[in-house]
């Protein structure tokens, strides 16, 4: 099983809303990632968790707040987003940081 | 810094044509190399990988060989199908530092019947 599950698939939120994106994997991977992908662009790394600790924050604005409650779950809490934050948000996991990453289907976020 | 360069798209082919998508990289050390595919409205799927020089990754009829001397990892398929229409991303992961996954800009492939 090489599945990474993301919920919801689609999300529309207002600029004053608070919402969360969820990601789950049961492959025993100890590294988990959030990426942001704009249309016709490659994914951009946002955060990396290694063994449930935040190890990389790519200077992401504080309106994005990641959380790793346990080794299988990764959340991305969203608050006071801007329309330019509309994008496909991808979660990924890997056995370690030195091997291939497996991606979820993504959450298509629209900020209105 | 580390980087990946892919050929500009879109690449437009007829069904059963031969496919090549060029990918070259710049990296310190000896990176692992990957091809990911993204179908419309979906996430990225790992297509194939190679972890050292002269390795050949293959999957679903696609192949790519890790060429250290030319710093390349070109994707090939002998006979494309309409269902291969997607965006293909070449990527590397270095073996040093933070070992981030670095993507190329992606190449869109359009296959017509």
Q: What is the mean pLDDT of residues B20-29?
A: 93
Q: How confident is the prediction for chain B on average, in pLDDT?
A: 93
| pLDDT (tens digit per residue) in B50-66 | 999 999 999 999 999 99
Contacts of B34 in chain A (CB under 8 A): 100
In this predicted structure, what is the pLDDT of residue B95?
72
Query: For residue B74, what is the DSSP state?
Result: -
Asked if residue B93 lies in contact with residue B32, where contact means CB atoms within 8 angstroms, the answer is yes
Which residue in chain B has the smallest CA separation from A87? B41
Tell me if the bond preceding B10 is cis, omega within 30° of 0. Answer: yes
Question: Which residue carries 């679903």 as its tokens?
Answer: B60
Rounded to whole angstroms, the Cα distance separating A85 from B107 reads 24
Rounded to whole angstroms, the Cα distance separating B59 from A91 reads 23
Q: How far is A5 from chain B (nearest CA, A)?
A: 11
Of B32, B43, B89, the CB nearest to A42: B89
Instruction: Indicate whether B29 pLDDT > 90.
Output: no
Backbone angles phi, psi at A94, to 5 degrees: -150, 160
Q: In B7-112, which ranges are continuous DSSP H helix?
A: none
B36 interfaces chain A, CB cutoff of 8 Å: yes
Instruction: Indicate whether B39 pLDDT > 70.
Output: yes
Asked if A90 and B44 come within 8 Å (Cβ–Cβ), the reply is: yes
| pLDDT (tens digit per residue) in A73-89 | 999 999 999 999 999 99
Rounded to whole angstroms, the Cα distance separating A106 from A34 reads 10
Q: How confident is the prediction for chain A on average, in pLDDT?
A: 93
Asked if residue A31 lies in contact with residue A95, where contact means CB atoms within 8 angstroms, the answer is yes
- Give the pLDDT band (50/70/90) at residue A95: confident
Asked if residue B49 lies in contact with residue B32, where contact means CB atoms within 8 angstroms, the answer is yes
Instruction: Indicate whether A43 pLDDT > 80.
Output: yes
**Above pLDDT 90, what percent of chain A?**
88
| pLDDT (tens digit per residue) in B68-105 | 999 999 999 999 999 999 999 999 997 766 667 899 99
A85 or A96: which leads in pLDDT? A85
β-sheet bridge partners, residue B36: B46, B89
Contacts of B32 in chain A (CB under 8 A): 98-100
Question: Which residue carries 């090489």 as its tokens?
Answer: A2
Q: Identify the residue among A23, A43, A88, A106 best suited for mutation to test binding to B, counting B beta carbons within 10 A and taking the highest.
A: A43
Of B34, B46, B99, the CB nearest to A97: B99
Contacts of A43 in chain B (CB under 8 A): 44, 89, 103
């Amino acid at each position: 099983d090489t599945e990474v599950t993301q919920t919801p698939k689609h999300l529309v939120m207002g600029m004053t809303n608070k919402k969360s994106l969820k990601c789950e994997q049961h492959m025993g991977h100890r590294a988990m990632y959030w990426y942001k992908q704009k249309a016709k662009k490659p994914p951009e790394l946002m955060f990396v968790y290694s063994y449930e600790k935040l190890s990389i924050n790519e200077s992401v604005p504080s309106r994005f707040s990641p959380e790793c409650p346990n080794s299988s779950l990764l959340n991305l809490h969203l608050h006071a987003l801007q329309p330019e934050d509309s994008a496909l948000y991808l979660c990924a996991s890997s056995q370690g940081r030195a091997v291939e990453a497996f991606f979820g289907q993504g959450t298509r976020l629209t900020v209105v | 810094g580390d980087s990946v360069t892919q050929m500009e798209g879109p690449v437009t082919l007829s069904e059963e044509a031969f496919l090549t998508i060029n990918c070259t990289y710049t990296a310190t050390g000896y990176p692992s190399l990957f091809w990911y595919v993204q179908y419309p409205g979906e996430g990225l799927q790992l297509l194939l990988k190679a972890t050292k020089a002269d390795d050949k990754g293959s999957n679903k009829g696609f192949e790519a060989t890790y060429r250290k001397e030319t710093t390349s990892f070109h994707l090939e398929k002998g006979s494309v199908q309409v269902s291969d229409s997607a965006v293909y991303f070449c990527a590397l992961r270095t073996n040093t530092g933070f070992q981030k996954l670095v993507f190329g800009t992606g190449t869109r492939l359009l296959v017509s019947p």
